[in-house]
Every structure is written in C-alpha cells, then in structure tokens.
A and B are shown apart, each in its own frame.
Chain A
C-alpha cells in the first residue's frame, strides 16, 4: 500500500511549520468531536431527566411480560429482558446461518451455470441474477410473506407433500425426530464412521505419496457413512421415533413447525444474496486465466484434477473476500425480519423492549454493538486470512 503523500510534508513554506500546523489541526478536530459529543450527551441528560427515564442497564433484569413467537431456548413471559435479548440474538443467528448456507448453495450453482457452455443454462442464470439483485430485499420478503405464505390455505386444506410435510397459513410442518432405543448406538456408529473416513483419507494420501497408488476415498467414505449407522440401527433398533404432524381439529399437532415469518425471510434473503454470490463466483472463476487450464491440460491432467488442483485454489482466493462481505450483508439484512414481525434482535430489542421500557439509548446501543461486533470480528478474520493466502509476488 502506498503511503499518502500529503501537502504539508512537501511544501516548503517558511511561515508555517507543517508539523505545528498538523498538531493544531488535529487538536482542533479532537476538540470539535469532544465538544459535539458533550453537547449531545448534555442534551440527552436533560431530556431524559425531564421525561423521568433513568438510564442504565438495570432494566435487563426486569421481567419482560410478553410472549415471543419463536424461541430457540426456553422462554416464558415472566423471563427477563436479558433473556429476551438472548432469544432475539439466537433468532438473528438462526436466520443468518440458514440464509448463508442456502445462499451459498444457490449462488455457487447459479454462478457456475452462468459460465456453462450451454447457452440456455447460462442465459437462465443471467436472468436469475439480473432479476433478483435489482429488487429490494424488503420487497422480496414482503412478497414471500404477504403474497405467498399469508395466502396459504388454512390447516385443513394444507398443501401436503406425502404424509409428512404440510404447508399452510400457520407455517411449514415437518416431521420431528426424537431419540429412541437405538439412538446412542446410531450416534456412536456415526462417530466411528466419520473417524474412519478421516483415517482412510489420511492413509490414502500417505500411500499415494509413497507409492503413487490411488484409493477410492470418496466411495469408501460414503459407504462407511451409510453402512455403519444402518448396521447400528439394525442391531440396536431404530434410532429415532418420528413425530409426524397430524391434523387434529383445526390445527396440526406434533412435528416441527417453521413459522411463515422464518420461511419468508430465509427464502427472500437466500435468493437475494445468492444473486450477488453468483456474480462473485463467476468473476472468481473467470479471474483464473485460460492459460492455467491450457497448461494443466497440456500436462495431461483430467478435468477433475484440473478443477480441484488448479482452478478452485486460485478462484477461491478471489472469491472469499467479497463472499465474506456478502455474508456480512446477509447478517445485517436479517434485521429486515423486523418488518414482518419475525422476532429477531432488532424486532425484539430495538422494537418491543424499547417501546415497553423507553430505554432508547440502551436498547439501540446494545443492538448496534451486536452487529458491530459481528462485522468487526469477521473483518479482522478476513484481513488475517487475506494476508495468509496472498500470492507471493516479487
């Protein structure tokens, strides 16, 4: 990075010493910031005093007294605002993680399709990208929520997929697994299979390097991962009992229910972010020059290894930094959930809690700090990663 060459350091004026000027300027700037800060603080103090609001974080221990639509941890109306914060944070993280996973899958598929030699596929991918990245995400959320999910039939007329999956105005009903007799045997078998895969992969690599012989690692691992748990289930009995949602009266009982708010926001954010990820993937792959592929081909490498050993390692260096910033955008956009009443951090804390307690400064500050903490820690991680993978140049 080049150092900025700035005026005072290259100017040769005798009247003003650039160093003193710089000091004066900085002191002035700091003083202004402090003065503005103090002014705002002072106003806030007197405003709060007048409205009879006591500042501080003591309210976090008060009971909240309201119900929450969806919570990943146990929550009742009598719990504290502190617990509400936790519920909101977890709900935000849930949407973010789901969104990131789905957006990454769609984004990579669309991005690779964009480069397909098949003209139709490539056009379809372009169409997807151009449509979805140019429509505001909030509009997409509203579309899925109000125009699609709110227009779903009542439970009795649910759209059903087989006898286990139901979609209606109250949400998406899925069968839920619960541990049964064979659960522990199943878990142990799965763990052994995973450990076995790692061991096989390491052994295969060492053998390949030592003797040049290949071993079909992928197929072996898949076989292990399927066979061992199935075997365990046969010996020790079924690992799960499935609680299938069933219609009783006017509603479904049993199973998992995914509330429509969560479906809408996850769907909309994944589809929106995927359009950007697709562009990133496309440009990342295109950044690997054609000469690289030609060189690899002329060495006799097959398409599989070319992709794995030459193209992907280089494309990922280009893809990962902007990809992370898209992930960050998705986390920040998850706050749009507030607009349709999904109980995320913003809706619960900067919304309901603020309205109930009037602790505007504290709630907004806490909410913003969470996003800031996420953003900054990911940026730091990114900078570290970028330094690590930067190509060595002269």
Chain B
C-alpha cells in the first residue's frame, strides 16, 4: 500500500488572475468586449466631466441672492437660501422645533423595534403604533397648550413624509382586511373585495386625487367641509390599500395549507386563526413587498401638486418659478431628485436585504 504524495498547489498563470487577469476577463476578453469597453469609456467621458464641472467645480456655494451666482456652474446658493422652506413649507418659524421633535420621536421610538435582542418586541411595536400617531398629530397640529398650525401651512419634505406615512399606515389595516376578504369562501365578500381592489388598481392616482378634491365634497352632507390635506390622505389611503391588499394576498398564498389545518385542528376560530397563526407569518413574508409599495407611494406623493398641496416637490417647483430666482430650475430639480433618490434607494436596499434574510430563513 502506498501513500499518495499530492502535488503542491501552483499559482495560476499570471494572465488569469490579479489586476491583469481581472481586466482581461471583464473588459478585454475578446474583440467585441474590447469594443464595448471603449464605448463605455467614451460614454463616461462624455457624461461625467461636464456634470462634475457644472455641479462642483464651477458651482457657486455661498451667498444670499441670485447676484452671488456669478460662475457658469450650478447655483447652490438658491438651494441653501430656500432649504428651510423645502423642509418645512410655511410652518411658522418659531414652531419648527415641533416638526423636528416629531421626527426625532418617530426615530427614537422605532429603534427598539429593530433591536432583535429586545424582549416583547411585538408588544412594544403595537403599543408604538397605537400611541405615536396621536402624539405626532398633537405635535404637528397643536392644541392642548400648543399653538394651532393649520394644515394649509404644512409643506415641504415634512408634508411629503406625512402623506406617505399616513397613507401607508392607513392602508395597512384596510389592505389586510381586503386581502382576507379576497381569499374568503363567502362569494359576496369576495366580489365586494375584488371589485374594490381592481377598481383602485385600474385607475391612475391622479384621477383619484381629482376625484377626492371635487367629488368628495359632493358625497358628504353639505355642512361637513373637509380639509384639503385630509381629502388627499383619504384618496391616497384608499388607493394604497388596494396595492397593499395584493401584496398581503401574496403572503397569504405562500403560507402552506398545513398551517391552516393545524390551526383549525387546535379549534381556533377564523379571526383567532388569522390573527394568531396565519397573519403573523404572512406579514413577515410580505415586509419587502410592503416596503416596495411604500417606495412607490413615496414617489407618488409628488402628485399632490395637482391639487395644490405644497409637498417637497411642489415647494421646490414653486421656488424655481419665483421671479427672484428664475433660471435655476435645473438646480431645483436636481436637488429634489437627490432627496427622493436617497429615500427611495435607501429603502429599496433595505427591502432587498430583508428579502435575502427571509430567503435564507426559509432554506434553513
């Protein structure tokens, strides 16, 4: 019996590893690939230097009026000058701390939910979801010792966040009910839910906003007049609920039949079965889908410009047509794009990470 002596591992030929190997494999593997590389480099050269030149090198960074924008590049003075308005709209200067506090409370309050080591995370989360909205409303709107700030004064990024967050929070419960209804065995319930869902999913949000602004007053008794913002919020909530319902339905379908049977075998009734067994699992599965719906909603909030609300986008748009700052539309839109992009990109990364984690969780 002999023992085999293994040959030593040799380093690969230099052309296949290291920087050279990487370049050869990824950029110059054949003629066509090399041509593509040249094309790509040309495209980058065409786009990147002028953008940097405009946005950084030739830009104006400091000053107070448009006369300070003397260089050829971007006039960031304009953004600096109006930043407060982009963030808070016409919210009274002396009261803006309340907006900051609302955001701070939201963030600090939410932190424990994401700490996986915390005991009774779910109970805390539910408590937070029940208490925070009231706190936020009180802080933003006022009353009980705080000066009242009418919603017509709300604006900027703050209003965008209000619409997006209220929209998604209001749409969740309704959406879950609709999803359950769509999977119900009772035909009348199913028909009602399917009609509702397909109706909202079939029409553009802009028509829904139009409807809320002109038809809602007609639908209600004349003594009731509702706030413009509230009308938009109702429209957004109903609209989003239909999308949430479809996302949740996907989660419900992914729960194996055995789970329903096991819950039934334990003698749980419909609502307990759903509330204690099925929904907790299904909702966990659909968190990425809900985040994606939220991203879409966040982008869609910009449509409230149609009904004359001053969200982040409309604030910026109005500033670009302000005679004092005419001609800086590009700067304004680039800034707006950057803000939306940071939010949406951040959330989409988060949703992708969640998805990957859920995926591995299933494999185990």
Contacts and interface: CB of A to CB of B under 8 A. Distances in A.
Interface string A341-378: 00000100011001000001100100110011011100
B201 A375 contact: yes
Interface stretch (A45-53, A177-185, A196-204): A45-53
Contact of B333 (A33, A124, A134, A147): A147
Interface stretch (B64-72, B115-123, B134-142, B261-269): B261-269
B174 interface: no
Most chain A CB within 10 A, of B26, B252, B344, is at: B26
A101 interface: no
Contacts of A43: 218-222
A301 B278 CA distance: 49
A29 B181 CA distance: 11
A226 interface: no
Interface stretch (A137-145, A154-162, A259-267, A288-296): A137-145
B217 interface: yes
B80 interface: no
A138 B218 contact: no
Given A26-B188, A139-B313, A7 B273 contact: yes
A119 interface: yes
Interface string B202-223: 1111110011001101111110
Interface string A194-232: 000000000000000000000000000000000000000
B313 A134 contact: no
Contacts of A120: 26-27, 36-37, 40-41, 44
B329 A333 contact: no
Given A7-B264, A139-B313, A146-B329, A372 B269 contact: no
B215 A135 contact: no
Interface stretch (B88-96, B104-112, B295-303): B295-303
B204 A136 contact: no
A335 interface: yes
A8 interface: yes
A151 interface: yes
Given A25-B186, A118-B40, A339-B305, A135 B210 contact: no
Contacts of B220: 43
Contacts of B290: none
A27 B188 CA distance: 8
A43 B303 CA distance: 28
B189 interface: yes
A143 B204 CA distance: 21
B128 interface: no
B29 interface: yes
B214 A360 contact: yes
Contacts of B43: 124
A135 B188 contact: no
Contact of A131 (B267, B299, B341): B341
User: Majority SS of interface residues in chain A?
Assistant: helix
A188 B314 CA distance: 54
Contacts of B317: 142, 146
Interface string A159-174: 0000000000000000
A96 B198 CA distance: 21
B202 A371 contact: yes
Given A11-B264, A138-B305, A360 B218 contact: yes
B247 to A, nearest CB: 14
A371 B306 CA distance: 18
Chain B interface, DSSP helix/strand/loop, else mixed: helix
A6 interface: yes
A309 B270 CA distance: 50
A2 B187 CA distance: 16
Contact of B206 (A22, A26, A336, A379): A336
Contact of A30 (B26, B40, B188, B271): B188
A151 B220 CA distance: 45
B271 A368 contact: no
Contact of B302 (A4, A118, A139): A139
A137 B103 CA distance: 27
Contact of B189 (A26, A121, A339, A374): A26
Contacts of B264: 5, 7, 10-11
Contact of B267 (A11, A30, A364, A367): A11
Q: How large is the interface on A (under 10, 10 to 19, 20 to 34, 35 or more residues)?
A: 35 or more
B26 A5 contact: no
A7 B266 CA distance: 11
B31 to A, nearest CB: 12
Nearest to A5: B260
Nearest to B39: A121
B214 A137 contact: no
Nearest to A41: B219
A232 B287 CA distance: 63
B253 interface: yes
Given A25-B186, A120-B36, A124-B40, A33 B340 contact: no
Given A47-B222, A139-B333, A7 B188 contact: no
B215 A118 contact: no
A145 to B, nearest CB: 9
B198 A376 contact: yes
Contacts of B185: 3-4, 6, 9, 22
A320 B344 CA distance: 26
Interface string B317-356: 1001000000001100100110011001100100000000
A364 B26 contact: no
Contact of B313 (A5, A46, A138, A350): A138
A117 interface: yes
A124 B220 CA distance: 52
B199 interface: yes
Contacts of B337: 135, 139-140, 143
Contacts of A351: 210
Contact of A138 (B188, B201, B211, B303): B303
B183 interface: yes
A40 B219 contact: yes
B333 A4 contact: no
B357 interface: no
Interface of B: 25-27, 29, 33, 36-37, 39-41, 43-44, 183-189, 192, 198-199, 201-207, 210-211, 214-215, 217-222, 252-253, 257, 260-261, 264-265, 267-271, 273-274, 295, 299-300, 302-303, 305-306, 313, 317, 320, 329-330, 333, 336-337, 340-341, 344-345, 348
14 contacts: A5-B260, A9-B185, A12-B267, A25-B186, A30-B192, A118-B33, A120-B27, A135-B299, A135-B337, A138-B305, A143-B337, A151-B330, A339-B206, A361-B218
Q: Identify the 4 closest CB pairs spanning chains A and B, nearest first.
A: A7-B270, A10-B264, A375-B202, A119-B26
Given A117-B26, A121-B36, A338-B306, 11 more contacts: A2-B257, A6-B184, A6-B270, A7-B274, A26-B186, A118-B37, A121-B37, A134-B340, A134-B345, A139-B313, A368-B203
